[in-house]
Amino acid sequence: MTQFRPRGAVAPLRRPAARATTVDAAVAALRPEAPLHCLRPQAVTAAARAFVAAFPGDVLYAVKCNAEPTMLRAVAAGGVAHFDCASEAEVRVVRSMFPDAEIHFMHPVKSRAAIRAAWTQFGVRDFVLDTDSELTKILEETGSQDRGLVVRLALPKGSAAYDLSGKFGAAPEEAAALLRAARPHAARLGLSFHVGSQCLDPAAWTRALALAAEVIGAAGVAVEIVDVGGGFPVAYPGSEPPPLAAFMEAIRAGAALLPEGVRLWAEPGRALVAGGASVVVQVQCRRGDALYVNDGVYGALSDAGAPGFRFPHRLLRLDGAASEVTRAFTLFGPTCDSADVMRGPWMLPADVREGDWIEVGQLGAYGTALRTAFNGFDHALVTEVTDSPMLATPGYEAAAARAA
């Protein structure tokens, strides 16, 4: 099997011999002392299938969100035949698994070597850009036959959990000029944007599409594709997004402003894979309201650190029942860095103790993908389960409010 990470960088997830079909059974069989990643590929396939059915255009999976082969296969099984890659390594792994997939190179700043390899070795034909110099690079490193060029438009600061407006994208006038400059060199010309990750407001897409329509009008050239990016949200404790249909309605409303015949693309990451994994961590030490666990912000729980995401969670104890009284805990990860803290709050039985396990849900997105080998804590196990995605933590909001 192709390994996404260079050998030696981060230990690959280890598959234990014991097989189990539920998280509870896996924990009982393995009594895991390393973080245990519980994959739910069928949940990813279902989410991908639902998105493909709802979206009025082509669906490109944003590979960076989770590039594990099991997840890539699950996304493809849901009907996704396009992949949004941002590096040569991502392009390589997708091509090795899916010889017929359409791969789109959607990072606005690429090395010449990556562009060249994508074009010549891996059959990538679509490239994004947000500057004149990137356009020059792409034109110099690719052939002219069937070349697709997509201009990334910057959006005003929005309402997403992760704002992406500061780093990439051309301002509207620049984007119009880039469309004009790219037009003679493109078999397909597109305009793309990203409203920001975990964006809870469907109207953000309508506004962005209205701006895209203005830019296309100002450019005065034909555009074949508008790419509405990723950012589609999922549920986390205390954050319940509107249903997917509301986002699709907002996109249809915005798309009505575009010139006739424009094809839509979307680049969902989080929305397809978040429910596809949970991670079971073990409590190694309790000190008052602080729990020291075996995974943290340098592992799969990066977003629970500084970004402050709250993840659904529950206690697993094999020998006896836990207290029915819950209270708020802070989690510390295993590294020696004081930034390795996840404030939650984590609502857990008041008598949680060393040796207990905690299942943390919704980690299929930006969990596995962000693991590092810092401090040597990269050893983790992986197994597949048939449980439904782990969503809400029952009573979380009330309990967290009482604790605050």
Ligand X SMILES: *Cc1c(COP(=O)(O)O)cnc(C)c1O
Are 193 and 227 in contact by the 8 Å Cβ rule? The answer is yes
Q: Which helix (H) or strand (E) holds 190?
A: strand 188-192
User: Does 267 engage in binding with ligand X (CB under 6 A)?
Assistant: yes
Provide the 8-state DSSP code for 398. H
Secondary structure (3-state) at 52: helix
Measured from the CB atom, the residue of 273 and 348 that comes closer to ligand X is 273
Catalytic residue flag (residue 336): yes
User: Does 280 engage in binding with ligand X (CB under 6 A)?
Assistant: no
Which residue among the candidates 38, 199, 285, 336 is catalytic per the annotation?
A: 336
Tokens representing residue 236 in the block: 């986390």
User: Does 106 engage in binding with ligand X (CB under 6 A)?
Assistant: yes
- Binder among 35, 78, 241, 268 for ligand X (CB under 6 A): 268
- Binder among 58, 84, 141, 378 for ligand X (CB under 6 A): 84
Q: Minimum distance from CB of 232 to ligand X (Å)?
A: 6
CA 167 to chain centre: 18
Contact window for ligand X (CB under 6 A) among 16-24, 223-231, 279-287, 370-378: 223-231
Pairing mode, if any, of strands 341-349 and 326-332? antiparallel
Task: Build a one-symbol-per-residue string for 61-80: x at contacts with ligand X by CB under 6 A, - elsewhere.
Answer: -x-xx---------------
- Binder among 45, 66, 142, 197 for ligand X (CB under 6 A): 197
Measured from the CB atom, the residue of 262 and 271 that comes closer to ligand X is 271
Q: Minimum distance from CB of 82 to ligand X (Å)?
A: 12
Q: Between 132-141 and 172-182, two packed helices, what is the crossing angle to 10 degrees?
A: 20
Q: Minimum distance from CB of 239 to ligand X (Å)?
A: 14
Beta-carbon contacts of 121 under 8 Å, excluding residues fewer than 6 positions away, are: none
For residues 242-257, one letter each, b for 16 or more C-beta atoms within 10 angstroms of the residue's C-beta and e for the rest, the string is eebeebbbbbeebbee
131 exposure class (CB count in 10 Å sphere: 0-12, 13-18, 19+): middle
Q: Which helix (H) or strand (E) holds 127?
A: strand 126-129
User: Does 364 engage in binding with ligand X (CB under 6 A)?
Assistant: no
The angle subtended at Cα 195 by Cα 39 and Cα 185, nearest 5°, is 100
Contact window for ligand X (CB under 6 A) among 60-68, 113-121, 201-209, 276-284: 60-68
User: Does 229 engage in binding with ligand X (CB under 6 A)?
Assistant: yes
* Pick from 399, 388, 380, 389: nearest CA to 296: 380
Are 331 and 288 in contact by the 8 Å Cβ rule? The answer is no
- Binder among 125, 147, 194, 371 for ligand X (CB under 6 A): 194
Contact window for ligand X (CB under 6 A) among 51-59, 142-150, 268-276, 291-299: 268-276
User: Does 201 engage in binding with ligand X (CB under 6 A)?
Assistant: no
Catalytic residue list: 336
In the complex, the residues that contact ligand X under the rule CB under 6 A are 62, 64-65, 84, 106, 194, 197, 229-232, 267-271
